[in-house]
Amino acid sequence: MAKKKNTQAAVEWDYSPSPESTSHIELKSKYDLYIDGKFVKPSSGKYFASYNPATEEKLADVAYANEKDVDKAVKAARKAYTNVWSKMEASERAKYIFRIARIMQERSRELAVVETLDAGKTIRESRDVDVPLACNHFFYYAGWADKLDYAFPNRKVEPLGVAGQIIPWNFPLLMAAWKIAPALAAGNTVVIKPAETTPLTALILAEIIHEAGLPPGVVNIITGYGDTGAAIVNHDDVDKIAFTGSTAVGKIIQKAIAGTGKKATLELGGKSANIIMDDAPIDQAVEGIINGIFFNQGHVCCAGSRLFVQEAVVDIVVKKLKRRMDTLILGDPLDKNTDIGAINSKEQLAVINKYIKIGIDEGAEMYQGKCVIPEKGYYCPPTIFTDVAQSSTIVQEEIFGPVLTIQTFRTVDEVIQKANNTPYGLAAGVWTDKGSRIFNLTTKLRAGVIWANTYNKFDPTSPFGGYKESGFGREGGLHGLSAYVKLK
Amino acid sequence: MGRLEVLKTYKVYIGGKFPRTESGRYYTPTNAKGEQLGNICLSSRKDVRNSVVAARKAFGGWSERAANNRGQILYRIAEMLEGRKAQFIEEIIFQGATKKDAEKEVSIAIDRLIYYAGWCDKYTQVLSSVNPVASAHFNFSVHEPMGVIGVVADKHTSLIGLVSLMAPVIAGGNTCVVIASEGLPLCSVTFAEVLNSSDVPGGVVNILTGKVGEMMPPLASHMDVNGIVYSGDDKKEIKDLEESTALNMKRISVYSADWMNSDEQDIYKIADCQEVKTTWHPIENIGGASSSY
Amino acid sequence: MNKKNGTANHRIPDFSLSPRIDKVGVEERVSRFQTRSIKTSAKLQGLKMVLNMIDLTTLEGKDTPGKVRQMCYKAQHLHDYHPGLPSVAAVCVYPTMVGVAKKGVEGSGVKVASVSTAFPSGQAPLKIKLADTKFAVSEGADEIDMVISRGKFLRGEYNYVFDEIAAIKEVCGDARLKVILETGELVTLDNVRRASDIAMYAGADFIKTSTGKIQPAATMQVTYTMLEAIRDFMDETGIKVGMKPAGGISNSKLALHNLVMVKEVLGGEWLNNDWFRFGASSLANDVLMQIMKAETGNYQSSDYFSID
């Protein structure tokens, strides 16, 4: 019998386009401010446009709130706090928050699609991560409203009053949930401002809150730029500032509220270490690297942007990482098969490209995933740099994009020192098969969230927040409540 | 003619040693009767710097000590303070208090140290949590010391304000740099002697005397100080403190309290100088009712 | 064919040091394959590939020449109402049925695979396993599906398992050797990985998950772990090994997700029946129904698809 050679040709099998339907989504052409339970026009009459970063097309016009509007919102929040919300039975407060969670779940597909349109993130993530987590956050904190006395042993708690909240563009709806849910559960009222590039899901949330029948003024959602945020921070009648964003702006806020007695929670930047030991489960570690830096195009404050690989396995890790990067699908964020969506804005793309250039100029070796970059929209291929040092700019500064630096190390001591050698302290990852080594590393790393043999996991019950210049206060879990109460 | 009394030299306490201020300066506070309390070191910004360096160096060892051991050391401080009670009472009276108040202040200080000694190996149990996340992960949050803490002691008391702020800071595994009461500095120096004879490793507590206005700014702007606890209600000082800490996101706790009140002590003062660290790890689900195997 | 045996020119690793596998991480990776959306032309192409990768299987005590002949006919005539469909890759039978099967598929290109080595338990002396294999080969089997000695493996006797596979490989001649790990009995993914490494270094042409007699069988987690092992073996030795998940893959969606996994872990080179097979008995009709649905737009009934 003749030997048959097993030489069938490699098969080309590409996934056909599989876009999420937008047919049931009806965006308004113009969105107003949600103040005191009503949708109202901005006092300046000015609007600004929100764009789809994947297509550069305008999605809607959004109201631009000025100081007057902020004042109106704060007054409404104060009135609602004094007359209604702080007087309401805690168990009733809980039911309102539960109701918000339920309506969000009902409108979850709409929220996911709009999030993807407005932020450029993939539908896979907005559908499977952002929106369910946001719903669950409301659901989790709702139940706390009438159980606060259990959270702080030996103390009675009181709400702070009016909370001014400013959220970023990387997880627009989820950050709104992180801010609003615990504030309401603890009995505060809220004035919140979404980021100027991603206001739409917060405005749908305003509709949901309205639909839930929340008393007017308990939640006020106003849109605008940095000056709108500054007006919230500087308003005399705000008791609490909660901000998520850059460390630079966080410092400005901290300065602005110094001596005013306002409480603050600041969730700021990071440059988190992801550490691969030589006994790690390598294939899962590679997946953890991918998830750590390319999740949400790297627009993640806790992104595992500094990879440390023990020298014995660096060759195989880098080889597998590159191979995996080549399988990532970049493109239309609405396509269900897209792994890497659009960069959030033109400005952010410029920042990322600036750092990529710095990396090249510093002599680091770059590798980018084999992706076809769409002609329209803002995109950046997954990028890694090897041959970098602790002193390289791209190792030290937060890039907030899909850019990873890879350093090697020899001993545990060395990697702990290098991982902690940063002004930030938000998160860290550790990959090793040895239990006692995990606890050694997780104990010694100076960061607020440590992922061991996993990365970028979030849950409403799990406190999130950093050490050092990554900000202070925690969001999520029991510990997230303390940011919104005073103890008696 | 009687024997000539030996006067005490008041020095600062840095890294477990009693140097004079590097500036060579001193000041001479007086009590209400106008009597001079002594020649007190007028510490400089360089003393602040040296203290922070000493505190940072001591942090690793202190924070990694067994909680039980930290508790024993705090208890030992109380024991030593009890043994030198008379000297503290005398100093407090000399600085202007009545005998009754002085006795009360020292007693409360001793009891407060014992209170926090007891917390050392318990606060993490009360404050920590295991978080029931929805995915296949074990997730827990524990408290960890922040690092080096600046302590701006109460200005109106010599001993109790200092002890009330310092004790929860070091009970929680932090090290600290204490700015003593400017006008009532005597007990702070004597207390340093107590610390030095109580198994407290050098550098865990560093105590400086002098002008708050001179020492607080370099402390607040120091990039290697992680947090500051402040007792008082001077609006300008609080504002300055909060403003300059925007440099490196220091955590600030401001207390306006009557430390002579025996209730002014709780776990939350320990928590104020702690960071919450949350750790995730996958749970391999094999076997049992929900197994897919 | 990549002719090789256990003592070939590459270093045999210490199998106790096979890479560790984190099960939760594997589950997350697998769930990403499962969210791949395969639509329209990609779906149709994928379904036809699936058909062509099936090892149509009957492995029962009650198997008779009549049953095997009917299955062989079905293997070549999956659904004659639809022209242009491929045949399956092979039929898989017990050694005693190889002769019947060989005749049944003659001239069609469909291969005959025979289980051997005291399938499914493997609880027999090596002598008997060798005789079992030689018999199947002499009857004309193109492929041999052997089982490993799981008891020995779980006792840590990796050398025994290795030597046994190598010995079987020697008597296979030109027949390609598929090594069944029976992952449901190995339980952990660490074990699945280690057994995969042993099988490949000992000379397997294919590694296969299961006998179909033990649950769970070819879960995506197990298949994914084995695919990564194949990739690493290729990197290390330059030798390509095939993969056969068997048991439990009964619908099109699961089959397509398996192909997604092959594509993204190993690439298009493995997307043909030289290198990837499905061991299945009821998968074919479900795939056929999906193809007809895609082409006619109507949901289908099993009454219109022959059962052999």
- Do A70 and A207 lie in one domain? The reply is yes
- Shortest distance, CA A7 to any CA of chain C (angstroms): 7
Torsional sign, CA C257, C261, C264, C268 = negative
Q: Are strands B274-282 and C54-57 parallel, antiparallel or unpaired?
A: unpaired
Q: In the prediction, which pLDDT does C281 show?
A: 84
Identify whether A359 is part of a domain: yes
Query: Which chain A residue's Cα is nearest to B141?
Result: A463
A50/A53 Cα distance (integer angstroms):
9
Q: In the prediction, which pLDDT does C6 show?
A: 45
Flag whether residue C16 sits within 8 Å of chain A, measured between CB atoms.
Answer: no
DSSP C256-288: HHHHHHHHHHT-GGGSSTTTB-EEESSHHHHHH
Are C35 and A128 an interchain contact pair (Cβ–Cβ within 8 Å)?
yes
Query: Which chain A residue's Cα is nearest to C36?
Result: A337
Option in C22, C184, C221 nearest B282 (CB): C22
Flag whether residue B283 sits within 8 Å of chain A, measured between CB atoms.
Answer: no
Nearest C-alpha neighbor of A202 from the set A236, A243, A168:
A168
CATH of the domain at A305: 3.40.309.10
The single residue of C102, C205, C244, C286 carrying the catalytic annotation is C244
B15/B47 Cα distance (integer angstroms):
11
Q: In the prediction, which pLDDT does B1 show?
A: 65
- Do A117 and A200 lie in one domain? The reply is yes
CATH of the domain at A140: 3.40.605.10
Looking at chain A, the whole-number percentage of residues with pLDDT higher than 70 is 99
Are C20 and A327 an interchain contact pair (Cβ–Cβ within 8 Å)?
no
B285/B291 Cα distance (integer angstroms):
6
Are C23 and B285 an interchain contact pair (Cβ–Cβ within 8 Å)?
yes
**3-class DSSP string for C162-221:** HHHHHHHHHHHCCCEEEEECCHHHHCCHHHHHHHHHHHHHCCCCEEECCCCCCCCCCCHH
List of chain B residues with pLDDT < 70: 1, 286-293
- Shortest distance, CA A40 to any CA of chain B (angstroms): 36
A281/A488 Cα distance (integer angstroms):
49
Q: Which residues of chain A have a CB within 8 Å of the CB of C40?
A: 16
List of chain A residues with pLDDT < 50: 1-3
Domain boundaries, chain B: 26-282
Q: Which two tokens stand for residue A402?
A: 């899909």
List of chain C residues with pLDDT < 50: 1-7
C205/C274 Cα distance (integer angstroms):
10
Unique residue bearing structure tokens 């019998």: A1
The single residue of C74, C111, C129, C208 carrying the catalytic annotation is C208
DSSP A347-392: HHHHHHHHHHHHHHHTT-EEEE---PPPSSS-----EEEES--TTS
In sequence order, the β-bridge partners of residue A48 are A62
- Do A444 and A480 lie in one domain? The reply is no
- Do A208 and A284 lie in one domain? The reply is no
Are B131 and A462 an interchain contact pair (Cβ–Cβ within 8 Å)?
yes
- Do A244 and A353 lie in one domain? The reply is no
Are C269 and A10 an interchain contact pair (Cβ–Cβ within 8 Å)?
yes
- Do A253 and A286 lie in one domain? The reply is no
Nearest C-alpha neighbor of A415 from the set A312, A277, A281, A313:
A277
Identify whether A433 is part of a domain: yes
Kindly indicate whether the domain formed by B26-282 is annotated with CATH number 3.40.50.9100: no
Q: In the prediction, which pLDDT does B246 show?
A: 87
Q: Which domains does chain C have, with CATH numbers?
A: 16-304 (3.20.20.70)
The residues of A annotated with a catalytic role in the active site are 267, 301
Judged by phi (left if over 0) then psi (alpha if -120 to 50, else beta), residue C297 lies in left
pLDDT digits (tens, 9 = 90+) for C179-225: 999 999 999 999 999 999 999 999 999 999 999 999 999 999 999 99
Active site residue C145: yes
Identify whether A448 is part of a domain: yes
Q: Which residues of chain B have a CB within 8 Å of the CB of A469?
A: 248-249
Q: Which two tokens stand for residue A76?
A: 């409404």
Identify whether A10 is part of a domain: no
- Do A312 and A229 lie in one domain? The reply is no
* Structure ipTM: 0.96
Identify whether A406 is part of a domain: yes
Please give the C-alpha separations between residue A362 and each of A13, A224, A295, A356, in angstroms, as whole numbers: 39, 38, 26, 10
Q: Using N-to-C axis directions, what is the helix angle for B85-94 and B67-83, rounded to 10°?
A: 70
A399/A305 Cα distance (integer angstroms):
8
Q: In the prediction, which pLDDT does C176 show?
A: 98
- Do A258 and A189 lie in one domain? The reply is yes
For chain A, what is the domain count? 2
- Do A210 and A315 lie in one domain? The reply is no
Domain coverage including residue A411 = 273-452
